[in-house]
Amino acid sequence: MSKLYILFFSLFFSLSVYSQDSFQDRAKKLSNEMTMVLSLDEVTSEKIYHIQLKRFIEAQKIRTIHGNDKRQMNAELKKLQNKLWGKLSAVLGVEKIKLWAAHKKNI
């Protein structure tokens, strides 16, 4: 029985580590795209990376907690999205946010 617990714990831990790497990859890809499109400096790009990484981790927590209640999950994700735009606006400014929104709309 203890082997089963060890196996389960190992599997859970490995999946958790894998998803963290995936979040880091996604955040890096998105921050690199924003850096290219908006001509950001290295410091701003790093700030964007950390904002995006935190967003991906928080979104996963919301999906895990509210997985059975789609309405609540969508409401929480919408709050997270609004918080994201607020943080991005604070770092980038209104003009660059408008440029980013236009870029995303054209994709």
Could you tell me the pLDDT band of residue 67, with boundaries at 50, 70 and 90?
confident
Domain count, the chain: 1
* Closest to 54 measured CA to CA, from 29, 23, 79, 32: 23
Structural domain contains residue 14: no
Examine residue 2 and state whether it is found in any structural domain, yes or no.
no
Instruction: Tell me, yes or no, whether 71 lies in a domain.
Output: yes
Query: Is the residue at 54 inside a domain?
Result: yes
CA distances from 97 to 7, 18, 27, 38, 49 (A): 46, 31, 17, 9, 15
Mean pLDDT of the 26-54 span: 95
For residue 63, tell me if it sits in a domain: yes
Question: Residue 24 burial (CB < 10 Å; 0-12/13-18/19+)?
Answer: middle
Local confidence band at 9 (pLDDT 50, 70, 90 cut-offs): low
- Domain contains 3: no
pLDDT at 17: 47
Question: Is 67 among the domain residues?
Answer: yes
- pLDDT for residue 42 is more than 50: yes
Q: Which range marks the domain in which residue 53 is found?
A: 23-106
Query: Is residue 17 in a domain?
Result: no
